[in-house]
Amino acid sequence: MTTPDAALPPSPADSSGTPTGDSPARAPAGAIADTLVGALAIPCEEIAAHPEFRALLSIPGIAVDLRYATPDNFVGRNVYGGLDCAYLRREAADAVARAAEWLSRHRPGVTLVVLDALRPQRVQEALWAELEGTPLTKYLAHPARRSIHSFGMAVDVTLLAADGRELDMGTGFDEMTPASHPEFEAEQLAQGGLTAAQLAHRGWLRAAMRHAGFQTISTEWWHFDFGDRDQVRRALPLVL
């Protein structure tokens, strides 16, 4: 592969999109609950046969490595159990395909790898239970607020080099430290917490995902939303 730093993607300074992240509620719980009235729900077990969802394995040119379906995550165990969660809503999956196609043209040899995608509400609740009472809850949507992952409209991704190793993004996936926050990248770069090469890798990831229509968040370099978060929560069925 060519070196990922050879040409710089958009500056990391514009990295932070909406300031919400998978962060806890900014509105009172009651107001959030009101927006959920009338929302539909689909059990995860029905997703495989559901026409509005697409299997990640049907997307050409990507790798799928769902970390929460292995012990390789901050919880240290498989939180999906036997659930098959390798899906996104079709519009988000189609956008992942566009991001992979964009990368294949602009960064040949670099592969998009999906680390988490559809995360049913029951799994969100299990993760919340693991973090409850710690400051780390700021990295997770409260189950009552609904994670965009639980609608199949958010995806966690990183990039693999041609040799199959992850590109160095400065922190690992779900590493809950300030260096993971796109909003602090300029500061981290100035202080030596992140290098220009690491930020260039993040920049390529963001460029590919934004090209495909995804939005960044301010707190996690690996997380991307498809569509307006409020609209998703209001209009789309929650996966249970």
**Between residue 210 and residue 239, which ones bind Zn ion under the rule CB under 5 A?**
223
Q: Residue 54 or residue 223: which is nearer to Zn ion going by CB?
A: 223
Tell me, by CB under 5 A, how many residues bind Zn ion: 2
Would you say 211 is a known binding-site residue? Answer: no
Q: Which of 82, 99, 197, 178 lies closest to 139 in space, CA to CA?
A: 178
Q: Residue 156 or residue 168: which is nearer to Zn ion going by CB?
A: 156
Q: Residue 206 or residue 223: which is nearer to Zn ion going by CB?
A: 223
Query: Closest residue to Zn ion, Cβ-based?
Result: 223
Report the nearest approach of Zn ion to the CB of residue 154 (Å).
5
> Residue type for 116, please?
D
Out of 101, 130, 185, 220, which one is annotated catalytic? 220
Report the nearest approach of Zn ion to the CB of residue 88 (Å).
12
Report the nearest approach of Zn ion to the CB of residue 202 (Å).
15
C-alpha span between 95 and 45 (Å, rounded): 24
174 binds Zn ion, rule: CB under 5 A: no
**Between residue 71 and residue 130, which ones bind Zn ion under the rule CB under 5 A?**
none
Q: Residue 140 or residue 207: which is nearer to Zn ion going by CB?
A: 140
Would you say 156 is a known binding-site residue? Answer: yes
Q: Residue 146 or residue 223: which is nearer to Zn ion going by CB?
A: 223
Would you say 223 is a known binding-site residue? Answer: yes
Report the nearest approach of Zn ion to the CB of residue 107 (Å).
22
3 state SS for the chain: CCCCCCCCCCCHHHCCCECCCCCCCCCCHHHHHHHHCCCCEECHHHHHHCCCEEEHHHCCCEEECCHHHCCCCCCCCCCCCCCCCCEEEHHHHHHHHHHHHHHHHHCCCCEEEEEECCCCHHHHHHHHHHHCCCHHHHHCCCCCCCCHHHHCCEEEEEEECCCCCECCCCCCCCCCCHHHCHHHHHHHHHHCCCCHHHHHHHHHHHHHHHHCCEEEECCCCCEEEECCHHHHHHHCCEEC
CB distance 233 to 181 below 8 Å: no
Report the nearest approach of Zn ion to the CB of residue 185 (Å).
18
Q: Is 45 part of the annotated catalytic residue set?
A: no
156 binds Zn ion, rule: CB under 5 A: yes
Q: Binding site for Zn(2+): residue ranges?
A: 149, 156, 223
Q: Binding site: residue ranges?
A: 149, 156, 223
Contact residues toward Zn ion (CB under 5 A) are: 156, 223
Which residue numbers are catalytic? Answer: 220
